[in-house]
A and B are shown apart, each in its own frame.
Chain A
């Protein structure tokens, strides 16, 4: 087999898809493992501790040790639970994130699927992940898990609305749901990013802030981690999960953070566009992505958990009115 036939094979559609599937799974797996390390190190630094240090240099082998521990543990299915739902729930939370990452443009020509309704697809699948936690909590036959499931649903209903309003605002400005085109529209210096496009959306930073807040709430991250409020609900919907059942939930949390931050990067920070025109796009995409991921960790270790009514008040009294206002404002500007 010569080089030509190899490249021909690799550029064929099925091979490309398999390669992207493997790539995305590897990326998510590696990130889920090492974001735990980053989170623990970051938490340590924010509290002026060194974080994990014992396993490997600077604790770098800690995620591998954790993964081995989780893999070697028994998967306990408690008596009286709905076995099928109990087993399916972690996958229902994990797979939407993996599927959605398929439309994210990592670089100029680096997207598994370049489809016209990419943004719609991400939010359609994003809604499933709530169902994963809900079913996990419901099927666990545990009071804490059920309370957590109820919280997740009401939280998700409350935060889907502002996030979609914000996304509609952005779509009004971009005129497309194709993520590659959205990124292409933001070419040039950083003031071409939708975060700084005052001319088309005067409240663009506010829009970004609302999106970011909703992203935290949708991924159940602190300060909106009502679903697994450790001090109230043991571990919420994950209470009855052991071994890799819990591990998949845990990975899914980080996969969803990655997805949320990727979408925020694409919509507001210019995706793979380089503000100064050096280095390939992937580098810039990852730089922006990990900046946002770091900020998620930063927020977690800064703010205490909100109370539940505080969470709903924030959504219904502040985020939804403000996002409606930005929607009206930018649609008026588009019409003018």
Chain B
């Protein structure tokens, strides 16, 4: 009898403690990142699909069609083709097709590249309605980026996302702390969240393209 009463009492007490805790949370600020309007900063080592790097001196792609990446790819998703312009010492790339449906983002191509001509992009808004949208020509992509203006691309300002040396000890991944700190503290959150300059223009731009195809 005494035990049962004690159980009722402690049970009831724990219910009220629970209510107190949730009410405490009720009045604290929200931690939601409102995605289309706000985005979290992408970590420097984020692995998007690969992209060609342009030579800052000439504005042309650094790639000289050695095809090492094509050979390094374990799933055969890269097709590189190029030509040698008149009087030039090296070949230049004309077609760099990435079949992203097969790519597992292993990074062998980036490791194999001798000249740093390819790197991981920071593209993560990859939604599409057909398979063909993921077979992309990176050369054309680079050219269209060049037309739009290079400084608009946040990609050019980030630290070199080279993979760590194979022999060295693996450093702790820097990706997660940003999310964790955003969830626990309100103050650093504002630094990590970027207000999208054109919320309506950024996301639907890609969906518009998919709808047209």
Complex contact A48–B22 (CB within 8 A): no
- CA of A253 to CA of B8, assembled, Å: 29
**Residue B23 CB within 8 A of the other chain:** yes
Measured between beta carbons, the chain A residues less than 8 angstroms from B32 are 48-50
**Residue A303 CB within 8 A of the other chain:** yes
Complex contact A46–B34 (CB within 8 A): no
- CA of A45 to CA of B23, assembled, Å: 9
Measured between beta carbons, the chain A residues less than 8 angstroms from B8 are 318
**Contacts A49-B32, A53-B34, A318-B8; A303 near B15 (Cβ below 8 A):** yes
Measured between beta carbons, the chain A residues less than 8 angstroms from B26 are 42, 45-46, 298
**Residue A189 CB within 8 A of the other chain:** no
Contact with B along A185-217 (1 / 0, CB 8 A): 000000000000000000000000000000000
- CA of A161 to CA of B23, assembled, Å: 31
| Of A45, A298, A299, A303, most B-chain CB atoms within 10 Å | A45
User: In chain B, what residue has the closest Cβ to A223?
Assistant: B15
The bracket for how many chain A residues form the interface is: 10 to 19
**Residue A301 CB within 8 A of the other chain:** yes
- CA of A299 to CA of B21, assembled, Å: 11
- CA of A42 to CA of B30, assembled, Å: 12
User: In chain A, what residue has the closest Cβ to B12?
Assistant: A209
Within 8 A of B (CB), among A259-307: 298-299, 301-303
Measured between beta carbons, the chain B residues less than 8 angstroms from A302 are 18-19, 21-22
Count A/B pairs, Cβ under 8 Å.
35
- How many residues on chain B are close to A (CB under 8 Å)? 15
**Residue A44 CB within 8 A of the other chain:** yes
Within 8 A of A (CB), among B30-50: 30-32, 34
Measured between beta carbons, the chain A residues less than 8 angstroms from B22 are 46, 298, 301-302
- CA of A49 to CA of B35, assembled, Å: 13
Measured between beta carbons, the chain B residues less than 8 angstroms from A53 are 34
**Residue B29 CB within 8 A of the other chain:** yes
- CA of A53 to CA of B32, assembled, Å: 12
Complex contact B15–A48 (CB within 8 A): no
Within 8 A of A (CB), among B1-28: 8, 15, 18-19, 21-23, 25-26, 28
Within 8 A of B (CB), among A39-62: 42, 44-50, 53
Complex contact A46–B18 (CB within 8 A): no
Complex contact B30–A44 (CB within 8 A): yes
User: In chain B, what residue has the closest Cβ to A49?
Assistant: B32
Complex contact A46–B25 (CB within 8 A): yes
Measured between beta carbons, the chain B residues less than 8 angstroms from A298 are 19, 22-23, 26
Please report A residues at the B interface, Cβ cutoff 8 Å. 42, 44-50, 53, 298-299, 301-303, 318
Given A50-B30, A318-B8, 9 other A-B residues pairs in contact with their CB atoms under 8 A: A42-B26, A45-B25, A48-B25, A49-B30, A49-B31, A50-B34, A53-B34, A302-B22, A303-B15
A sample of 23 cross-chain residue pairs with beta-carbon separation below 8 angstroms, ordered by A number, consists of A44-B30, A45-B25, A46-B22, A48-B25, A48-B29, A48-B30, A48-B31, A49-B30, A49-B31, A49-B32, A50-B30, A50-B32, A53-B34, A298-B19, A298-B22, A298-B23, A299-B19, A301-B22, A302-B18, A302-B19, A302-B22, A303-B15, A303-B18
Please report B residues at the A interface, Cβ cutoff 8 Å. 8, 15, 18-19, 21-23, 25-26, 28-32, 34
